[in-house]
Structure 1
Amino acid sequence: MLPPARPAPNAPAAGSRRGGALTPGAGLSSARVAWRHSLRFRLAATYSLLALALIMLISLGVVTLLLSQMDQQFNDRLNDRADTLAEAFSTSGAGLGKTAGGANAYTMLIDDDGTVKAASPILRNFVRAPYPYGDQSRVNIGDTSVRAVKRKAGDFGMLWVGLPEDDLLAARQSAVSALLIALISTPLILLLVGWWVGRRALSGLQGAANLADQIDPTLSLATLPLPAREDEVHRLLSAINRLLVRIEAGQAREKQLLGQIVHELGAPLTVLKASLRRAEERTDDPEVRRAALVADELTFTTQDLMQLARGQLELKLAWHYIPARTLQERLERLVPGTTFEGDWRGGILCDPDRLTQAVRNLLANARRAAGADGSVTLTLDETADKVTFTVRDSGPGLPPELGERIFEPFISGAGSSGLGLSVSRQIAAMHGGSLSGGNHPQGGAEFVLSIPGAALGDED
């Protein structure tokens, strides 16, 4: 049996949500495989069918051989009896002191004219009557089935000798009934035994599956504990552990490379933004202003890449209580042409840089979808418990085939990098909120980002 898996530090419970999406292994460890899809059931059913076919062939062979031997023994008895009686009639003096049979004997002596000259007591009604059975080897006399043979009885004519086969038929019927009962009950017994054996044999494999289900690549890639017995399950878990080590090494290299790229881009972008800002202040040239916005776009893209490289758990929030108007001014400068609705006179408890990054990503996507002539609206609704940002655009809406995958990294329906929505959902989750998206009934896409409200009293 496999030892229980130790959860990784800070690992969420199975089925928990991170950023509005289920974690990769969520809910799988406790899932039950439907019996008709179970490997255990398929093995038990295959084992039962093969065993049933083998037992059926063997049973049919045994019963056929048994019935054949019983039939042969019956014929031998019948022929022995007929030969003995025929010898008594054919050999002078051989039959002295012998009888043709008892009260239940089936014998008839037939002359050359086909008339019964003598018969055993049970067949006395046939005496001096024509022989009625011709060449039949099986006849029914009353309720009794009789198998018969004929022998030459010297000068007396033809000797007809019969032997009741009711006992043989009863034995044959019993053997067939026993075979049918075995064929009916055996599959059920074999299926139950196969299910039990399969459950015991595959318990290690089921434990390995449960352990593998608990792996969350976003949190930890800790190797799985190995069973003591070096069987196929041990080999499977060893292969999984080697794969996890390679995955973790690959992820580390990817994060390192991504971090280096972002670092190399950060310094030139900072200098470029400062130079463009000074040029914009001196010249007020619209081309310079447009270049400054492009530099801001690149800066936010590098921030998204950095957040992706570091991972959510490595990021820390710097909480501040800021006026909503301050956030509006930032967003208005970053995404010009946005229409702001709602009440922006209150305050928001958040990490201003992260929240600006999240909402700005939504606005930038909306502007990209709506185009230069389209409309982008940001509505703020604030209550004591929740602050909600609703971003709506006049674009074509979200591709219906993407669904929730729109929030996965590098999945985009508008030709962007595909990082903005993923990062925005992570930031919302870090604030204790959520991000959802869909298509508005009147057209265009609509995203709703919610974070907890400050719930501050007058004294606070």
Structure 2
Amino acid sequence: MLPPRPARSVPPRAPFRRGAALSSALTPGTGLSSARVAWRHSLRFRLAATYSLLALALILLISLGVVTLLLSRMDQQFNDRLNERADTLAEAFTSPGAGLGKAAGGAGAYTMLIDGDGLVFAASPILRSFEKAPYPYGTQSRVTIQDTSVRAVQRKIGLFGTLWVGLPEDDLIAARQSAISALLAALVFTPLILLVVGWGVGQRALSGLQGAANLADRIDPTRSLATLPLPAREDEVHRLLSAINRLLVRIEAGQAREKQLLGQIVHELGAPLTVLKASLRRAEERTDDPEVRRAALVADELTFTTQDLMQLARGQLEMRLAWHYIPARTLQERLDRLVSGTAFEGDWGGGILCDPDRLTQALRNLLANARRAAGPHGKVWLTLQETADHLSFTVRDSGPGLPPELGERIFEPFVSGAGSSGLGLSVSRQIAVMHGGQLHGGTHPQGGAEFVLTIPGAALGDED
């Protein structure tokens, strides 16, 4: 196994965020347990709305059938009543004594006797104005008399002529309007009531699923994956949570196998790297060849990476900083050997308070991405600017620039615009944050990508 790096801490005057961890950037459940789903996207709302629409359609069909049947029966009863009255009066005229004991209508009855010439020679009191005048309605079955709708029938009464009998429809029209009003009111208020009831029932029915979602949001995949509690009822929610628990168990087993394999790979790489570093160091002492020095530096970087991988295999994702105050020129020489062809600009004559290995790792990732984007014949610039409060490292290339559709997503793990693994920018931003700074990127107005990494200045006095 490789020995850990010595950590010599230098207490800075300016505050630094030393406790930031890489796991916080890779934990998807962070901050999601308090999230709430918008009502229009809620499963409860969709279920309640679907339930209300289906119930509305059923109520509409059933109500239309019932109202249609009711109105038909009322109309039939009205016609039966009208025909019965007309038959009674006609029988009374044609068969004297046959209509005894049967009501022929009172003062409000609508009756007229029409002779063979079409003249009204007798009428009930309410129609007295039609007497001695031609019959005005012809064969109409519905007429309006004094703003009253009247339905009428006619009967032949032998030598007397024709009997006209009418019956007011006011009660039937009122009943029809009441039925239609009740149907419309039901169609308006029933969906609202059903939606509220469905929302409440859905909230109660899906409460177990919502609680499970909140618990799932708090699961940290870097630690042991706890299973979700199952509801008492063995319904669809119980089945879903059971399937999720089985999936979590399989994920945890897969993670354990991956960590074990990663640990074995790192262990197998450790011994060859140690031998390679020793051989390159001896070759550097003998030949003083710059290519050998560069290869030795790359071997040091590989050793540093294997230590991070060993921490990952052990489940320790937290980065730790070893603070040093180094000349900026040392950092420049180190980066120049790692990424050749870089044009260094700005003031490299000062000092930097940082973790040299981590800061080198962050800038190396930015320079490697810039070199890949610019191509073998393109240009890559690294500019250092120092102010009273902070240091800024600007990496710019002559490539095509950043894909505009990615935006800030370019800093998310496994998101890449150039076909790489997508981890370099994420790790570089995390290192900048751990130093108390930040990393931003975009496309330069003159073309090419531009990344600016800032960290606080050393702010050291003479005694420090």
State the TM-score, normalizing by the size of structure 2.
0.81
Q: Name the counterpart of 2:112.
A: 108
Structure 2 unaligned residues grouped into runs of 5+: 1-19
Structure 2 equivalent of residue 177 of structure 1: 181
Aligned twin of 1:60: 64
Aligned CA distance change for structure 1 residues 299 and 377 (closer, same or farther; 3 Å)? farther
Give 2:84's match in structure 1, choosing from 58, 70, 80.
80
Q: Structure 1 residues 405 and 254, CA, compared in 2 at 3 Å: closer, same or farther? A: farther
Report percent identity of matched pairs.
87
Q: Give the gaps of 5 or more residues in structure 1.
A: 1-15
Indicate yes or no: 2:242 matched with 1:238.
yes
**8 Å Cα contact 2:88-2:104 kept in structure 1:** no
Aligned residue for 1:313, secondary structure, equals: coil
Q: Which residue of 1 aligns with 2:147?
A: 143
Does residue 360 of structure 2 align to residue 356 of structure 1?
A: yes
Distance in 1 between residues matched to 2:146 and 2:413, nearest whole Å: 92
Question: Equivalents in 2 of 1:342, 1:165: separation in Å?
Answer: 100
Partner in structure 1 of residue 51 of structure 2 = 47
State the 1:172 CA deviation.
1.7
Letter in 1 for 2:152: A
Deviation at 1:402, TM superposition (A): 4.4
Q: Does 1:377 align with 2:377?
A: no
Alignment match, 1:273: 277
Matches within 5 A, 1:25-424: 25-94=29-98, 100-218=104-222, 221-284=225-288, 292=296, 295=299, 299=303, 302=306, 305-306=309-310, 309=313, 313-371=317-375, 373-383=377-387, 385-409=389-413, 411-413=415-417, 418-424=422-428
Report 1 or 2 for greater relative contact order, CA contacts < 8 Å, sequence distance ≥ 6. 2
Cα offset, 1:272, TM superposition: 2.2
Give the whole-Å Cα distance in 1 for the aligned partners of 2:378 and 2:319: 35
The 1:456–1:284 alpha-carbon spacing in structure 2 relative to 1, beyond 3 Å, is closer
User: Is the contact between residue 23 and residue 318 of structure 2 (CA under 8 Å) also seen in structure 1?
Assistant: no
Q: Distance in 2 between matches of 1:140 and 1:87?
A: 27
Superposed CA deviations along residues 278-325 of structure 1, whole A, max 9, x for unmatched, are 334434557656755665675566566556656663443333333434
> Which deviates further from its counterpart, 446-455 or 96-105?
96-105
CA RMSD of aligned residues (A): 3.5
Q: Deviations over 1:86-110 (max 9, x none)?
A: 2222224445798854222222233
Contact 1:29 1:214 in 2 (8 A): yes
Distance change in 2, residues 1:425/1:19 (3 Å): farther
What is the aligned length?
445
* Partner SS state of residue 55, structure 1: helix
Do 2:21 and 2:319's aligned partners in 1 also have CA atoms closer than 8 Å?
no
* Cα distance in 2, alignment partners of residues 443 and 117 from structure 1: 107
**TM-superposed deviation, 1:418:** 4.6
Distance 1:160 1:323, change over 3 A: same
Instruction: Determine the C-alpha separation between the residues in 2 that align with 1:225 and 1:279.
Output: 62
